[in-house]
C-alpha cells in the first residue's frame, strides 16, 4: 500500500446548535420523546410559568382581586422591606428551617440506619411503619397535633410527666408554639427515611470489610464510609427539606388559622411567611402585595439553594467523580 | 413554587375555582339573564352555607317546595374567602354566598358583592321586618348588600352547682364590676398548678373581646372609618380583662384547658362542672337544652356598671356575588330563607323534634324581628316544672337582645378583626402591654383604611 493510498478522512464541519437540533428532530425517538413530554410542558407553562409571570406583573400593582390592577411601581417591595410582620414571619420561618432541617435529617438518618440493620421477614413491616406517617394528609396532621400537644391532656405532656417533667402549653404559649410546630414537623420524615435508606442499601459491603480490616470501629465506619457514600442523598434531602420548610403552610395554617376557632389562638410565633402571604392575598385582598411577598420568598429560596449547591460541591461525593 | 401561590390563585386557579352552578338553561327564562322581577327558575348554587340541622334544612325545603322547578345546590361548608374571591375574579361566581356580617362592608367596598336595592324593591323584601341595628351591619354607603339571618348576642350562663360549692349566688357575678368579677373568678377556679379542673369565670377571650368594650361603654368602632383601638378606655378594658385571666392562672393555661372541652357534646363544660360562669352567645343555651337537659344553669342578660342591659350582636348574611347569574332566583331564595313564615316552619320542626325527645324548645333568634315575634308569640310554649329554667333562660336572652350594639359596616372588617385579635392575644399572654399593642393595632387598621381609600 503506497502512501498515496492512505486517505485521511476529511474533518466533518462542526455542527451548529441548529443543525444538531435539526438532526435530532429527524430521529423518530426525539419526536416521540417530545410528544410524551408535551403534557408536562403544557402543564408547566399554564400552571407554573404563566402564574409566575403573572404574579411578577401583579407584584408591581395594587390589585384587590376584584377590580383592575393599577401600576404602583416598586411600592409593594418597599412595603415588604418596611413591614414589621414580614420580619416576624421571616424570623419564624428561618428559625423553623434552621432547626427542622438538620434535626429531621439526623433523626431520619438514625432511623434509616436502624432499618438497614433489620433483616428477615420483619424488614418490610418496619419500613412500612416508618413511612406510614408520611401518608397522613397534612391537614389531618395539623388537627392531630393540636390534640397531641395540648398542655392539659395531650399525649406529649403525658409522656413528659412519666419523666417528672411538667410540659408546657405547646399550642397556646407563644414561647413554646414554635417548638410545638417543630415537633409536629417530625411526623412526616418518612420520605426522608426512605431516600436515605435506599442510599444506605447502595453502599458496597466491601468498603465496610476493608474498613474493618483496617481496624475501624462502628462509628469510624459510619463517619468515613457511610456518610461520604450517601452524601449525594444527604445533599438532596437537605435541599428539598430546606425549600419545603421555607414554604411551610398547611399544617400550621390548620392548627392556628384554618377556621374561626383556631385563628383565635394564633400568635406571632405561628406566623409563617407563606401564611402571611396568604392572609394578604385572600383575607385582606392585597394580591399585589402578596405577589411581591411571593417573589421575595422565591429570591430567598433561590439564594439559599445556590449557596447549598455551592457548598455541596465541596462535601458531596459522587461515585465516578474524580474527587 | 412559592410565587405560584399568589399568581396561580389570582389568575390560573380562577379557571378551576369556579363554583357557579347557575347554568343558563332555557327553563330559567329571564331569571337567568338577571332581571330581578323575573319568575325564579334554572338553578342556584350557594357557598359558605351548611345544613347542620332542621333550622337550615326546613328553610331550604320551604324554597324548594315553593319553586319545585328550581335546582338548589347547597355547596356545604364554611365560608372560604379564597374560594369566593377566586370565583368572583374568574367571572364564574355562585349565585349566592353566605358570609360573616363583619365582612359585608369589605366585600361591598371592593365590588365583590352586588347592592341589593333592586332585589329588595322588586321582590318586595320588607326591610322593616329586620332589626335596624343588624341592617347597619349589611348596609354600606346607603345601599343594602346582604340579607341577615341569625342574631347572636352574648349572655351570662351560670353553673348553679359550682356557684353553690363556692358559696356564691347569681347576684355575685357582675361582669361589669371588676372587684366582684375577680373575687368570683378566684373563688370558683380549681387548679393544681397549670393543670385545671375548672375555670371560674370564662370570658370567652379572645372570641368576643370587642363585646367588653361595649360593656365598658366604649365600643371600639365609632363609625365605618373611625376606630378606637388606641383609646385610653379600650386600653383600660384590656387591662381589666387581663387581670381576670391572670387571677385564674393566666390566659395561656386557660386557653389550653378550654381546648380540651367538648363544647357541643354531652360532656360539655357545664355538664362536667368545668366552668363556673361563662359569657357566650345565646345559641349555646340551645346546645345545652339539647345535649344536657338536666344541667343546672341560670342564664342572665349582662348589665353595665349602671345596671342597664348591654350586648353586642353579630350575624351572618346572604349576598349575591358580583356578576352572578340568576339574580332573581337568588334574591327570592334570600327572601324566603329569612321570611317570618319560613323561620316559623323551622321552629315548628324543632319544637316537634324536642317534644319527641322530651326536651325543651329554647327558641331561635333571628335578625328578622317579625319572625321572632311569630316564633315567640305564636309557637313558643313557656316551660314549666323542670323546664322552667329553660323558660327563664329564653326570657333572659330576649331581654338581652332588646338593644344590641352592632359594628358599623366598614371596608376593613378583616384587617380590623386581625388587628384586635393579634393585640388581644399579645396583651392577654403578657407579650406586650395593652397601650402599645393597641396603638400598633390602631396603626394597622388606619393603614388598611388608607390603602382602601387610595
Q: Report ipTM for this prediction.
A: 0.79
Instruction: Say yes or no: B10 contacts chain A, CB-CB below 8 A.
Output: yes
- pLDDT, position A121: 78
Residue A99 lies in a domain: yes
Return the C-alpha cell found at A3.
502512501
- pLDDT, position A12: 62
More confident residue, A124 or B260: B260
Confidence of residue A263 (pLDDT cuts 50, 70, 90): confident
More confident residue, A6 or A149: A149
Is the pLDDT at A14 greater than 50, yes or no? yes
Residue A69 lies in a domain: no
- pLDDT, position A10: 58
Could you give the C-alpha distances from B371 to A25, A196, B126, B144, in angstroms and in order? 75, 66, 12, 20
Domain count, chain A: 2
Ordered alpha helix ranges (H), A153-257: 155-162, 174-185, 190-201, 205-213, 218-221, 227-229, 231-246, 250-256
- Cβ B3–A294 below 8 Å, yes or no? yes
| Bond before B31 cis per omega within 30 degrees | no
Residue A1 lies in a domain: no
Q: Chain A 85-124, CB below 8 Å of chain B: which residues? A: none
- pLDDT, position B2: 42
Residues A236 and A97 in one domain: yes
- pLDDT, position A8: 56
Structurally, at CATH architecture level, domain B2-150+315-346 sits in: 3-Layer(aba) Sandwich (3.40)
- The model's pLDDT over B292-312, given as tens digits with 9 standing for 90+, comes to 999 999 999 999 999 999 989
Confidence of residue A267 (pLDDT cuts 50, 70, 90): confident
What is the residue extent of each domain of chain B?
A: 2-150+315-346, 154-312+406-453
- pLDDT, position A321: 59
- Cβ B431–A282 below 8 Å, yes or no? no
Residues A310 and A210 in one domain: yes
- Cβ B81–A174 below 8 Å, yes or no? no
B141 dihedral zone (left: phi>0; alpha: psi -120 to 50; beta) = left
Residue A67 lies in a domain: no
Smallest CA–CA distance from A291 into chain B, residue: B6
Instruction: Say yes or no: B454 contacts chain A, CB-CB below 8 A.
Output: yes
Phi then psi for residue A224, to 5 deg, are -95, -20
Mean pLDDT (chain B, rounded): 90
Superfamily of domain B154-312+406-453 in CATH is: Periplasmic binding protein-like II (3.40.190.10)
Report the pLDDT averaged over residues A218-235: 94
Could you give the C-alpha distances from B302 to A38, B183, B269, B305, B362, in angstroms and in order? 67, 18, 20, 10, 19
- pLDDT, position B454: 56
Rounded Cα gap, residues A13 and A20, in angstroms: 12
- pLDDT, position B89: 87
Residue in A66, A151, A260 nearest the CB of B111: A66
- β-pair partners for B277: B158, B201
- pLDDT, position B213: 96
Q: Chain B 103-122, CB below 8 Å of chain A: which residues? A: 106, 110-112
Domain boundary among A58, A88, A110: A58
Residues A168 and A271 in one domain: yes
- Cβ A58–B6 below 8 Å, yes or no? yes
Instruction: Say yes or no: B439 contacts chain A, CB-CB below 8 A.
Output: no
Residue A231 lies in a domain: yes
Residue in B7, B207, B451 nearest the CB of A264: B207
Which residues have C-beta within 8 Å of that of residue A184, sequence separation ≥ 6?
A141, A142, A145, A149, A251, A255
More confident residue, A65 or B439: B439
Residues A118 and A254 in one domain: yes
Residues A80 and A226 in one domain: yes
Q: Which residues on A lie below 8 Å from B259 (Cβ)?
A: 146, 150, 152, 171-172, 265
Residue A63 lies in a domain: no
Report the pLDDT averaged over residues A287-307: 96
Rounded Cα gap, residues A269 and B431, in angstroms: 11
Confidence of residue B8 (pLDDT cuts 50, 70, 90): very low
User: Domain range for residue A48?
Assistant: 17-58
Residue A83 lies in a domain: yes
Rounded Cα gap, residues B149 and B99, in angstroms: 10
Type and span of the H or E element at B14: helix B13-16
Confidence of residue A123 (pLDDT cuts 50, 70, 90): confident
- The model's pLDDT over A19-62, given as tens digits with 9 standing for 90+, comes to 888 888 889 999 999 999 999 999 999 999 999 999 999 999 99
- pLDDT, position B48: 95
Report the pLDDT averaged over residues B325-343: 97
Residues A33 and A168 in one domain: no
Q: Are B38 and B327 in contact (CB under 8 A)?
A: no
Q: Which residues on B lie below 8 Å from A293 (Cβ)?
A: 6
Rounded Cα gap, residues B63 and A192, in angstroms: 54
- Cβ A55–B112 below 8 Å, yes or no? no
Is the pLDDT at B15 greater than 50, yes or no? no
Nearest-5° Cα angle at B38, B35 to B43: 90
Return the C-alpha cell found at B295.
344541667
Confidence of residue B16 (pLDDT cuts 50, 70, 90): very low
Q: Are B1 and A49 in contact (CB under 8 A)?
A: no
- pLDDT, position A234: 96
Residues A237 and A146 in one domain: yes
Rounded Cα gap, residues A304 and A311, in angstroms: 11
Looking at the complex, report in whole angstroms how far the Cα of residue A108 sits from the nearest Cα belonging to chain B: 25
- Cβ B429–A247 below 8 Å, yes or no? no
- β-pair partners for B158: B277, B298
Q: Which residues on A lie below 8 Å from B255 (Cβ)?
A: 169, 172, 265
Confidence of residue B11 (pLDDT cuts 50, 70, 90): very low
Is the pLDDT at A320 greater than 80, yes or no? no
Return the C-alpha cell found at A319.
461515585
- pLDDT, position A18: 84
Instruction: Say yes or no: B82 contacts chain A, CB-CB below 8 A.
Output: yes
Instruction: Say yes or no: A46 contacts chain B, CB-CB below 8 A.
Output: yes
Smallest CA–CA distance from A154 into chain B, residue: B260
Residue A7 lies in a domain: no
CATH of the domain at A154: 1.10.3720.10
Residues A292 and A176 in one domain: yes
Instruction: Say yes or no: B422 contacts chain A, CB-CB below 8 A.
Output: yes
- The model's pLDDT over A165-199, given as tens digits with 9 standing for 90+, comes to 989 999 999 999 999 999 999 998 999 999 999 99
- The model's pLDDT over B272-284, given as tens digits with 9 standing for 90+, comes to 999 999 999 999 9
Question: What is the full DSSP assignment across B232-294?
Answer: HHHHHHHHHHHHHHHHTT-HHHHHHHHTT--TTSTT-TTTTT-EEEEEEETHHHHHHHHH-TT
Mean pLDDT (chain A, rounded): 90
Report the pLDDT averaged over residues B85-98: 92
- pLDDT, position B151: 94
Q: Chain B 202-231, CB below 8 Å of chain A: which residues? A: 206-207
Count A/B contacts: CB-CB distance under 8 Å.
Answer: 166
Residues A111 and A173 in one domain: yes
Is the pLDDT at A13 greater than 80, yes or no? no
Instruction: Say yes or no: A142 contacts chain B, CB-CB below 8 A.
Output: no
- pLDDT, position A124: 85
Confidence of residue B23 (pLDDT cuts 50, 70, 90): very low
- Cβ A52–B7 below 8 Å, yes or no? yes
DSSP B231: S
Residues A24 and A170 in one domain: no
Neighbours of B61 (CB within 10 A): 17
Is the pLDDT at A96 greater than 80, yes or no? yes
Could you give the C-alpha distances from B361 to A29, A211, B19, B159, B223, in angstroms and in order? 75, 81, 37, 20, 38
Return the C-alpha cell found at A43.
402543564
Instruction: Say yes or no: A295 contacts chain B, CB-CB below 8 A.
Output: yes
Q: Chain B 339-358, CB below 8 Å of chain A: which residues? A: none
Report the pLDDT averaged over residues B178-195: 93
Q: Which residues of B309-325 are buried (b: 16+ CB within 10 A; e: fewer)?
A: bbbbbbbbbbbbbbbbb
Residues A83 and A195 in one domain: yes
More confident residue, B195 or B324: B324
Is the pLDDT at B262 greater than 90, yes or no? yes
Is the pLDDT at B20 greater than 60, yes or no? no
Residues A207 and A140 in one domain: yes
The SS3 call for residue A191 is helix
Question: What is the full DSSP assignment across A42-70?
Answer: HHHIIIIIHHHHHHHHHTTEE--SSSPPE
Confidence of residue B423 (pLDDT cuts 50, 70, 90): very high
Rounded Cα gap, residues B56 and A93, in angstroms: 42
Neighbours of B46 (CB within 10 A): 24
Looking at the complex, report in whole angstroms how far the Cα of residue A211 sits from the nearest Cα belonging to chain B: 43
- Cβ B11–A51 below 8 Å, yes or no? yes
- pLDDT, position A110: 96
Confidence of residue A120 (pLDDT cuts 50, 70, 90): confident
Question: For residue A237, how many C-alpha atoms fall within 13 Å in the half-sphere facing its CB?
Answer: 25
Rounded Cα gap, residues B315 and B413, in angstroms: 14
Amino acid at each position: 500500500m503506497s502512501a498515496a493510498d492512505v486517505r485521511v478522512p476529511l474533518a466533518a464541519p462542526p455542527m451548529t446548535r441548529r443543525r444538531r437540533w435539526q438532526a435530532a428532530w429527524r430521529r423518530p425517538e426525539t419526536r416521540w420523546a417530545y410528544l410524551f413530554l408535551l403534557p408536562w410542558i403544557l402543564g408547566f407553562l399554564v400552571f407554573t410559568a404563566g402564574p409566575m409571570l403573572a404574579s411578577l406583573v401583579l407584584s408591581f400593582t395594587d390589585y384587590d382581586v376584584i377590580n383592575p390592577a393599577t401600576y404602583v411601581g416598586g411600592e409593594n417591595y418597599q412595603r415588604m422591606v418596611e413591614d414589621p410582620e414580614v420580619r416576624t414571619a421571616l424570623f419564624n420561618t428561618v428559625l423553623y428551617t434552621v432547626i427542622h432541617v438538620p434535626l429531621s435529617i439526623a433523626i431520619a438518618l438514625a432511623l434509616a440506619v436502624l432499618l438497614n440493620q433489620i433483616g428477615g421477614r420483619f424488614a418490610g413491616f418496619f419500613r412500612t411503619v416508618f413511612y406510614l406517617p408520611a401518608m397522613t394528609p397534612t391537614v389531618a396532621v395539623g388537627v392531630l397535633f393540636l390534640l397531641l400537644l395540648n398542655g392539659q391532656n395531650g399525649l406529649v405532656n403525658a409522656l413528659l410527666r412519666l419523666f417528672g417533667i411538667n410540659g408546657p402549653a405547646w399550642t397556646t404559649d407563644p414561647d413554646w408554639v414554635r417548638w410545638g410546630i417543630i415537633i409536629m414537623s417530625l411526623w412526616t420524615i418518612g420520605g426522608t427515611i426512605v431516600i436515605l435508606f435506599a442510599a444506605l442499601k447502595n453502599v458496597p459491603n466491601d468498603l465496610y470489610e476493608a474498613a474493618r480490616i483496617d481496624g475501624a470501629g462502628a462509628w469510624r465506619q459510619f463517619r468515613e464510609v457511610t456518610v461520604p457514600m450517601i452524601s449525594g442523598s444527604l445533599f438532596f434531602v437537605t435541599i428539598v427539606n430546606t425549600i419545603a420548610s421555607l414554604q411551610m403552610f398547611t399544617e400550621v395554617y390548620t392548627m392556628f388559622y384554618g377556621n374561626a376557632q383556631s385563628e383565635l389562638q394564633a400568635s406571632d410565633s405561628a406566623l409563617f411567611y407563606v401564611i402571611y402571604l396568604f392572609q394578604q392575598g385572600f383575607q385582606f385582598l392585597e394580591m399585589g402585595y402578596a405577589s411581591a411577598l411571593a417573589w421575595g420568598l422565591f429570591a430567598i429560596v433561590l439564594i439559599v439553594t445556590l449557596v447549598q449547591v455551592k457548598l455541596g460541591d465541596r462535601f458531596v461525593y459522587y461515585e465516578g467523580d474524580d474527587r | 413554587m412559592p410565587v405560584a401561590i399568589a399568581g396561580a390563585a389570582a389568575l390560573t386557579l380562577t379557571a378551576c375555582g369556579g363554583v357557579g352552578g347557575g347554568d343558563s338553561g332555557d327553563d330559567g327564562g329571564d331569571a337567568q339573564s338577571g332581571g330581578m322581577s323575573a319568575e325564579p327558575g334554572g338553578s342556584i348554587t350557594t357557598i359558605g352555607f351548611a345544613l347542620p340541622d332542621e333550622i337550615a334544612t326546613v328553610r331550604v325545603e320551604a324554597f324548594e317546595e315553593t319553586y319545585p322547578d328550581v335546582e338548589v345546590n347547597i355547596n356545604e361548608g364554611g365560608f372560604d374567602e379564597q374560594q369566593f374571591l377566586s370565583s368572583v375574579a374568574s367571572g364564574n361566581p355562585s349565585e349566592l354566598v353566605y358570609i360573616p356580617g363583619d365582612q359585608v362592608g369589605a366585600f361591598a367596598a371592593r365590588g365583590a358583592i352586588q347592592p341589593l336595592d333592586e332585589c329588595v324593591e322588586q321582590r318586595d323584601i320588607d326591610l322593616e321586618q329586620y332589626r335596624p341595628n343588624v341592617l347597619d351591619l349589611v348596609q354600606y354607603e346607603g345601599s343594602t348588600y346582604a340579607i341577615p339571618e341569625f342574631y347572636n348576642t352574648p349572655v351570662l350562663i351560670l353553673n348553679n352547682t359550682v356557684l353553690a360549692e363556692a358559696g356564691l349566688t347569681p347576684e355575685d357575678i357582675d361582669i361589669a364590676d371588676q372587684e366582684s368579677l375577680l373575687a368570683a373568678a378566684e373563688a370558683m377556679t380549681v387548679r393544681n398548678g397549670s393543670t385545671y379542673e375548672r375555670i371560674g369565670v370564662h370570658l370567652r377571650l379572645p372570641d368576643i373581646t370587642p363585646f367588653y368594650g361595649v360593656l365598658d361603654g366604649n365600643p371600639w368602632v365609632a363609625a365605618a372609618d373611625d376606630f378606637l383601638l388606641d383609646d385610653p378606655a379600650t386600653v383600660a378594658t384590656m387591662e381589666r380583662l387581663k387581670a381576670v385571666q391572670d387571677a385564674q392562672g393566666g390566659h395561656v393555661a386557660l386557653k389550653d384547658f378550654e381546648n380540651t372541652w367538648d363544647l357541643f357534646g354531652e360532656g360539655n363544660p357545664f355538664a362536667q362542672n368545668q366552668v363556673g360562669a361563662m359569657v357566650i352567645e345565646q345559641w349555646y343555651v340551645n346546645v345545652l337544652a339539647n345535649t344536657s337537659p338536666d344541667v343546672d344553669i341560670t342564664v342572665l342578660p349582662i348589665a353595665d356598671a349602671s345596671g342597664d342591659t348591654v350586648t353586642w350582636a353579630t350575624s351572618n348574611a346572604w349576598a349575591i356575588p358580583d356578576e352572578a347569574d340568576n339574580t332573581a332566583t337568588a334574591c327570592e331564595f334570600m327572601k324566603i330563607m329569612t321570611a317570618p313564615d319560613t323561620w316559623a316552619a323551622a321552629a315548628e320542626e324543632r319544637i316537634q323534634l324536642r317534644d319527641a325527645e322530651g326536651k325543651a324548645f329554647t327558641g331561635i333568634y333571628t335578625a328578622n324581628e317579625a319572625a321572632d315575634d311569630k316564633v315567640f308569640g305564636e309557637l313558643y310554649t313557656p316551660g314549666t316544672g323542670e323546664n322552667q329554667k329553660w323558660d327563664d333562660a329564653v326570657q333572659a336572652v330576649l331581654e338581652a337582645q332588646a338593644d344590641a350594639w352592632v359594628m358599623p359596616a366598614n371596608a376593613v372588617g378583616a384587617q380590623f378583626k386581625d388587628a384586635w385579635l393579634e393585640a388581644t392575644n399579645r396583651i392577654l399572654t403578657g407579650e406586650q402591654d395593652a397601650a402599645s399593642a393597641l396603638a400598633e393595632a390602631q396603626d394597622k387598621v388606619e393603614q388598611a383604611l388608607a390603602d382602601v381609600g387610595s
